[in-house]
Amino acid sequence: MDAVAPSLAGWMARQRWYATKGRLPKIRVIGSMESTVDDALVMTLLVIDEAPDVPVLYQVPVVARPTPLSGGDHAFIGSSDGLYLYDGPHDPAYTHELLRTLVERRRVDGSDLHAEGHLVTDPGRVVRTKVLEGEQSNTSIIYDVQDGPVDRVITKVFRVLHHGDNPDVTSQAALTHGGSSRVPESLGYLTASWPDPGREGGEASGHLAFAQEFLSGSEDAWRVALDAARSGVDFTDSARALGEAVAEVHATLASELGTVDAGPDEVDAALVSMRRRITTAAREVPAIAEYEGAINAVYDAVGARDWPSLQRIHGDLHLGQALQSPTRGWVLLDFEGEPLRPMPERSRPDVTLRDVAGMLRSFDYVAGSLAQEQPAVDASEWSHAARRAFIDGYVAASGIDVRAQRTLLDAFEIDKAVYEAIYESRNRPGWIGIPLGAVGRLVSRSAPAVQ
């Protein structure tokens, strides 16, 4: 492993999933497991990057081959001891071994890394694989399969690892168990344990990968909405149906995983997270700082009110997390929660209004992104109509009048816009005006309600 590590640092810095952009990784391999497939050595490495202020743990699958992989130039990492190193998800030796570990419920004991496959439904025989392009924080492998219940499987390889269950796995498994058609069927997952001197007992555990049904022929909701808004096509029926779908998912999650009352401790914990975010944003985004006092006043006001019961939610809901399936209608994906939120917070019971607010922000982003095109497109009325229709659908399906909880909904939408401002300032400064405009509007609307 020591011979491989020097080849990884520069390569990791260029990957979309590398969290600390603009800084060369300072890495150390803390765990590994290996297997041999034909003449290839398949390695799963746990690599800790100590370059950022808070170290980040990555999962880095690597395949070492004595001869070059045909067509593997784009996945080439480097050379070590005469071997050619490739990014695992792009190499069939790794992709087949990963799914086999799940299907066979195999336990693999490596060096300071122990993994175990868990099978929900056997997906069938693998025909071919490819990597899904465009992902930011994980890497997903698409499997064409035969002789199973589905035609295609998508297996997500979690790149950044945390201790604890990943809600992307547990939430979708609960929805599958509850008979929901609003998520792809869960097929299996891979868990692991590794050393962590900072934890009691010196060990951490979590999910390495998650396999589920791939819905062929589905369209990305963001693209569908963007095209509709650009063309001036009415989207209210689709937005209303999406609101109904989100309400159905919330109802199934509540039934499968339960609810808890929102007592003072739970409300305080939520507000601590929201206040921490505005403090960070005020420090990083000067234009946000002028709203800090007004935003905290909104948070003070909602902290003194009764909150609805708490439950498992999606946690990072927006149009990019939904698909329009020709057979199922709207389907939701990626239940990991916000990438900037600590893992323990992502599984914590929360208010369903946070998901509602996230989708409202996404419709606003459709209009904001079109306003930046050349020539600019004014989709503000389209966005307003879609937001209203989404709420209508959610209210109709859930029986909950979220408009009666407007102040709390606004608080969550403000929190989401503050999150967006942090993200845009770090990654897309040219987009910062979209969340800043939302913060200004929402604070102005909420101010009378908090006086």
* Res 156: pLDDT: 97
- 61 pLDDT exceeds 90? yes
Name which of 298, 245, 246 is nearest 446 in CA terms. Answer: 298
pLDDT, tens digit (0-9, with 9 covering 90-100), for 107-141: 999 999 999 999 999 999 999 999 998 777 899 99
The percentage of residues in the chain with a pLDDT greater than 90, rounded to a whole number, is 86
**DSSP per-residue codes, 220-265:** EHHHHHHHHHHHT---HHHHHHHHHHHHHHHHHHHHHH-EE---HH
Q: Structure pTM?
A: 0.90
pLDDT, tens digit (0-9, with 9 covering 90-100), for 338-397: 776 677 778 899 999 999 999 999 999 999 999 999 999 999 999 999 999 999 999 999
Q: What homologous superfamily does CATH list for 219-450? A: Aminoglycoside phosphotransferase (APH), C-terminal lobe (3.90.1200.10)
Residues 331 and 175: beta-carbon distance below 8 Å? no
Amino acid at 253: L
d(CA 438, CA 432): 10
Number of H helices, E strands in the chain: 13, 17
* Res 191: pLDDT: 98
> For 405, what's the count of Cα atoms within 13 Å in the CB-facing half-sphere?
23
Beta bridge partners of 143: 129, 153
Rounded to 5 degrees, what are φ and ψ at 323?
-125, 145
- Across 85-107, average pLDDT: 97
pLDDT, tens digit (0-9, with 9 covering 90-100), for 212-255: 999 989 999 999 999 999 999 999 999 999 999 999 999 999 99
Q: What's the first-to-final CA gap in the chain, in angstroms?
A: 61
* Res 312: pLDDT: 97
Every domain of the chain with CATH number 3.90.1200.10 lies at 219-450
Does residue 167 have a cis peptide bond before it, meaning omega lies within 30 degrees of 0?
no
pLDDT, tens digit (0-9, with 9 covering 90-100), for 138-169: 999 999 999 989 999 999 999 999 999 999 99
pLDDT, tens digit (0-9, with 9 covering 90-100), for 402-435: 999 999 999 999 999 999 999 899 889 999 999 9
- 275 pLDDT exceeds 60? yes
pLDDT tier at 7 (50, 70, 90 boundaries)? confident
Q: What is the DSSP letter of 38?
A: T
